[in-house]
């Protein structure tokens, strides 16, 4: 299906989804929120648990600001170019290493149960993916974002993930990923949420006023490549770690290779509700049911 046809289907489906969810209450009744910047926690906990997406119950690992289980990895803001002291506690049963993917900075080993103090390096303005350097940590979804500077505008983030329940179960039980096996994820998330729950995410659901601007950090921490299509706007590419040639481009469709961390700027010149969706049809479903998965909205208040 071409994107125009796709768009029509999507808008009417979105409309039905909204009505189902909000009982016909106009979404404009929701007060526009400024993305509340989460500050770095004093202690970061790697916590094992379970998450449920559209009927699939899956084992999980999450980076959290306390030992209490939550399904959403914490992403946080730090001051530009200032080292940060952080204590990390590995609540899993095996070793992990805290990884920031920054050249010249080595992952810090985290034995289970022992608090480890580490210093985040001075990070130039931009966004960085942090996680565990192990396959177990990656597959079970221990992956968050550190956003340095870029706080002169509201700054939203979309941490993208894809989930194949059988792979998670295998790895959780101590197995490894079979590189020959087909990868068939059933769930696709933005900040560990599936649509329409993406619309109740204060850090991911873009809600700003017409005539204003925001940053959006977009990180692909899944196990496949993704492509997002913005309706209503073209965004300016400020960072794209796997597509350096795209810096400064203004685009409505952007690819995100596995591991890519990007920052875009959105100038909201027109009011309205605009979907942003994955261009891969399977990635806009929840366990095969459309619409779902990687869809969120730009809600631009008049
Ligand atoms: Cu589209």
- How far is Cα 259 from Cα 218, in angstroms, rounded to an integer? 10
CA atoms lying within 13 Å on the CB side of residue 290: 14
Structure tokens at 199: 């619309």
Ligand 1 centroid – CA 231 distance (Å): 6
- Given this model, what pLDDT does residue 15 score? 44
- How far is Cα 301 from Cα 75, in angstroms, rounded to an integer? 26
Ligand 1 centroid – CA 18 distance (Å): 18
Which residues, given as ranges, of the chain have pLDDT below 70?
1-36
Ligand 1 centroid – CA 266 distance (Å): 17
- Given this model, what pLDDT does residue 293 score? 98
Ligand 1 centroid – CA 183 distance (Å): 24
Ligand 1 centroid – CA 86 distance (Å): 40
- Given this model, what pLDDT does residue 17 score? 46
Structural domains of the chain sorted by starting position, each given as residue range(s) with its CATH number in brackets: 3-35+177-301 (2.60.40.420), 43-151 (2.60.40.420)
Ligand 1 centroid – CA 147 distance (Å): 27
Ligand 1 centroid – CA 10 distance (Å): 8
Structure tokens at 91: 């609540």
Structure tokens at 163: 């989930």
Instruction: Tell me the Cα Rg of the chain.
Output: 19
- Given this model, what pLDDT does residue 16 score? 47
Ligand 1 centroid – CA 202 distance (Å): 23
> What separation in angstroms does the CA of 126 have from each of 22, 153, 157, 219?
36, 13, 12, 12
- Given this model, what pLDDT does residue 3 score? 54
Ligand 1 centroid – CA 215 distance (Å): 20
Contacts of 237 (CB under 8 A, 6+ apart): 243, 246, 247, 248, 249, 250, 251, 254, 262, 263, 264
Which is nearest to 280 in space by CA: 151, 138, 197, 183? Answer: 183
Ligand 1 centroid – CA 98 distance (Å): 36
């Amino acid at each position: 299906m071409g994107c125009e046809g796709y768009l029509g289907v999507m808008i009417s489906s979105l409309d039905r989804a909204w009505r189902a969810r909000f009982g016909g209450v106009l979404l404009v009744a929701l007060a526009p929120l400024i993305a509340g910047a989460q500050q770095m926690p004093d202690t970061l906990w790697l916590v094992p648990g379970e998450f449920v997406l559209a009927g699939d119950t899956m084992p999980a690992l999450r980076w959290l600001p306390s030992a209490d289980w939550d399904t959403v990895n914490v992403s946080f803001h730090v001051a530009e170019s200032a080292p940060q002291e952080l204590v990390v506690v590995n609540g899993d049963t095996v070793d992990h290493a805290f990884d920031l993917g920054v050249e010249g900075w080595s992952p810090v080993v985290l034995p289970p149960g022992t608090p480890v103090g580490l210093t985040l390096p001075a990070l130039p303005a931009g966004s960085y993916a942090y996680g565990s350097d192990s396959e177990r940590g990656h597959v079970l979804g221990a992956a968050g974002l550190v956003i340095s500077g870029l706080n002169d505008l509201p700054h939203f983030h979309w941490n993208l993930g894809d989930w194949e329940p059988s792979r998670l179960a295998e790895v959780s039980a101590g197995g490894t990923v079979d590189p020959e096996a087909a990868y068939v994820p059933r769930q696709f998330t933005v900040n560990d949420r599936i649509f329409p729950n993406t619309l109740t995410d204060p850090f991911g659901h873009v809600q700003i006023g017409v005539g204003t601007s925001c940053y959006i950090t977009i990180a692909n921490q899944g196990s496949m490549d993704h492509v997002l299509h913005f309706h209503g706007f073209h965004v300016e590419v400020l960072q794209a770690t796997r597509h350096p040639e795209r810096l400064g481009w203004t685009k409505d469709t952007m690819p995100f290779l596995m591991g890519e961390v990007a920052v875009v700027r959105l100038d909201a010149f027109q009011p309205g509700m605009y979907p942003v969706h994955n261009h891969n049809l399977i990635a806009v479903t929840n366990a095969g049911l459309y619409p779902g998965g990687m869809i969120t909205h730009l809600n631009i208040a008049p």
